[in-house]
Amino acid sequence: MTSIKQFQVTFDCAEPERVARFWCEVLGYVVPPPPQGFDSWDDFNRSLPPEERGAWFACSDPSGVGPRLFFQRVPEGKTAKNRLHLDVRAGTGLVGDERLATLQAECARLVALGATCVRVLLADEENESCIVMQDVEGNEFCLD
């Protein structure tokens, strides 16, 4: 059985760019260039519908060694759900049935280690399949 080596750390937060830039400073991470066709992230955000502006931000380790950090805006403050969870990248590059089968196999391996499968989110028009899980203490993470 191979072990997972790649993962993304996802933060639920109120102000994605602010939190991302903080972690850039803490870790020496960098903000990637804006999407092609945009001179800045501000230009990109202005191109989005108002409700989507500033909804997410990301940064990465310039050496390529550390995980990518992704920050997504959520409406709620921290109550019971983690404000931070890991996305374990078990299905990178896979789509459809092959991706789902790979995620389910990894889910079974992790359940045997004491994890809990919370729910399977099947692919739709926007997203590929992923599986929401909890570790042995109930901390949420996703197989994606």
SS (H, E, C) 100-132: HHHHHHHHHHHHHCCCEEEEEECCCCCCCCEEE
Contact 13, 82 (CB under 8 A): no
pLDDT score at 126: 84
Contact 64, 28 (CB under 8 A): no
pLDDT along the chain (144 residues), means of 10: 80 84 84 92 92 92 92 75 78 93 93 91 90 80 90
pLDDT score at 62: 96
pLDDT score at 27: 74
pTM above 0.85, yes or no: no
What is the distance between the alpha carbons of residues 140 and 138, in angstroms, rounded to a whole number? 6
